[in-house]
Structure 1
């Protein structure tokens, strides 16, 4: 985009150098299709089916390490025009059919090909991984106020049977984030394997309670079609029921595994986004307003291009309706050492995760235990390990 084009778009001469790079947010999720297509059109080699998973867990962390970080922000005077530019919305719209086609092709591929177990596993991981990108898209569009974007969010979330995220994230997580009350905020000392058993059910039950309360205020039944959890759930039921009727009941456990792996992508993101960070409780019993320093931030280039700037999570929580192309970096934020994909891999090894992240957490909160969201069962042990208890006072005469 030239400076003249930028001026024509009302951007006051500002040039978004990442404008075309946001297309990676379409290309990377689309890789889930590549393996089955290469298997059918080139040669029946199982290695093709592992390409998208290897790209996510190996290539993207390496690219983030090589390309580094981007700390630039759009000037505030350019933001209104930047957010009004329809190009950025069209990119998100385009991902919806890509995700649906990818899901359908991969399910049909699994239902019509006799694969060894490791080939089936590869397609499950690739397809579930693409559902993770769908959750990210639902996250981006679910925050917006237009009817089209909100319905596209529900339609996308329905692929992985995770439509309750539309309610839970916007009205639950953003309210309770970085507090002990939030099932989607990880605690210091909590492994991802422990976190998943708290986050997944906790998110659903909180979403259902929130929607039931809203409908009750409106004088409507929780089983009404106005229920924003039931709306995407009905889409999921028709989709999964139709595929089972066509391909057979044996596809049900495979599709459930795919849906779980897709949901686990969100769990991983939630785990790393607020690990150990705590909002202070005020004298009135309420928590302080969420600030940028209550989220972990990452400016790593490639993974941000692939995730619609999800990793600039600090600005997102401070300003939830801000569109992805306008999200900013701030100085002195808690920072991740790699992009999300590299951090996912690190989280699979809890001892290594603690070794890397606990010291970063302590630095981010200036070693103040009052600013740490501890796993209660490990709080005393962690206080001792990192010497966070009250320090012994040294007599003045000794200091003299």
Structure 2
């Protein structure tokens, strides 16, 4: 039964394909799954169950489908554009549907593949990111994020007080530059030019050119324009989801990474459609651990559905007052070490937030749970 749960994102992807097959206003079907998942994830509630799965082949079939499928969805969109004159409204629906499939389920599936030791899986995971204009994403994620998480050096960790819009815009630029510079530094260590032909950015650009050439052959220039628009939507959307995984959490540089240094969103649909990317406390302790063996952190501060978090963060005061501040107050008082509390107090002050660490009732909760 646990294996079947992870066919949920395959079903979501199938609905998007069905929308392009039917055409007309049905092309909105893919993006409609976003609010539907937000409602379902909230109604069904949290899922703390440990998965009983041991067959890697069965577990990985939906991963591969959800990495390759969104790439093929672009060609379904291009085909629809070639056989039907879509209205502007319908083209917008197609762009959003394709872009959303590049976020969920593609990114969690690609993330799982490029964390594998199998070189073919890693390659497919990397180039699945054609859908988000970022075929070098694994460089910054594996080399940077997994080392710097919850510190000021981590571009995926938003400082307290930062709103979603500012974070997302900065993250798009910073993640791109980080990957380019890391690859250039690796080449220099080999005695090569930082822009040597073996720099992975050239392969990424070549893949992008081939991808758009094929889109043109299927649907013409309009397919290229809509495809690029969907890629841009997906790229910004993907960066925005990092905001909710690490927002405001503090770690002293060089200190061990604990389960407390990230947020988990343990809704049933968050876990299944994200291939456990929202249940990734253990993932940061062992990046090679397969998704279905990650254990939910029951002692962590419960967070709402990741879909609900995204919708709330579109209105920054709502996000900060209703979700972020209450969670971070608990984190400071119940989970942070003394050093982390000191750094957190500085961020709170810089953000203009209350000094909750020195409230009378706060003194009771300051016995930090070190190592969590």
2:264 to 294, 297, 301: 297
State the partner residue of 1:54: 32
State the partner residue of 2:41: 64
The 5 A counterparts of 1:75-90 are 82=54, 85-90=56-61
Contact 2:81–2:219 under 8 Å retained in 1: no
Quick one: distance in 2 between partners of 1:217 and 1:38?
53
Quick one: distance in 2 between partners of 1:325 and 1:106?
32
1:218-276 deviation digits (Å, cap 9, x = unpaired): 33444445433433332112111342466444544432221111112311220100000
Shift of 1:279: 0.5
Contact 1:167–1:228 under 8 Å retained in 2: no
Matched, 1:278 2:250: yes
Unaligned ranges ≥5, structure 2: 361-372
Shift of 1:149: 0.6
1:29 to 8, 13, 18: 13
How many residues were matched structurally? 355
State the partner residue of 1:213: 185
Contact 2:67–2:107 under 8 Å retained in 1: no
Quick one: distance in 2 between partners of 1:177 and 1:354?
21
1:325-353 deviation digits (Å, cap 9, x = unpaired): 11111232233112x22222122111111
SS of 2:6's equivalent in the other structure is helix
Quick one: distance in 1 between partners of 2:308 and 2:317?
16
The 5 A counterparts of 1:298-377 are 298-338=265-305, 340-356=306-322, 357-366=324-333, 370-371=340-341
1:174-231 deviation digits (Å, cap 9, x = unpaired): 1211111222211211111111121010001111111111222233444445433433
TM-score computed with the length of structure 2 as normaliser: 0.86
Unaligned ranges ≥5, structure 1: 1-16, 282-286, 393-400
Q: 1:65 to 1:372 in 2, by over 3 A?
A: farther
SS of 1:365's equivalent in the other structure is helix
State the partner residue of 1:5: none
Contact 2:183–2:199 under 8 Å retained in 1: yes
Contact 1:179–1:279 under 8 Å retained in 2: yes
1:151 to 104, 118, 123: 123
State the partner residue of 2:162: 190
Shift of 1:167: 1.0
Matched, 1:387 2:355: yes
Quick one: distance in 2 between partners of 1:288 and 1:49?
48
Contact 2:111–2:125 under 8 Å retained in 1: yes
Contact 1:189–1:375 under 8 Å retained in 2: no
Contact 2:169–2:236 under 8 Å retained in 1: no
Quick one: distance in 2 between partners of 1:123 and 1:372?
48
SS of 2:297's equivalent in the other structure is coil
Q: Which moved more, 1:99-108 or 1:167-176?
A: 99-108
1:2-38 deviation digits (Å, cap 9, x = unpaired): xxxxxxxxxxxxxxx4111111132223322222212
Shift of 1:70: 1.8
2:4 to 20, 28, 37: 20
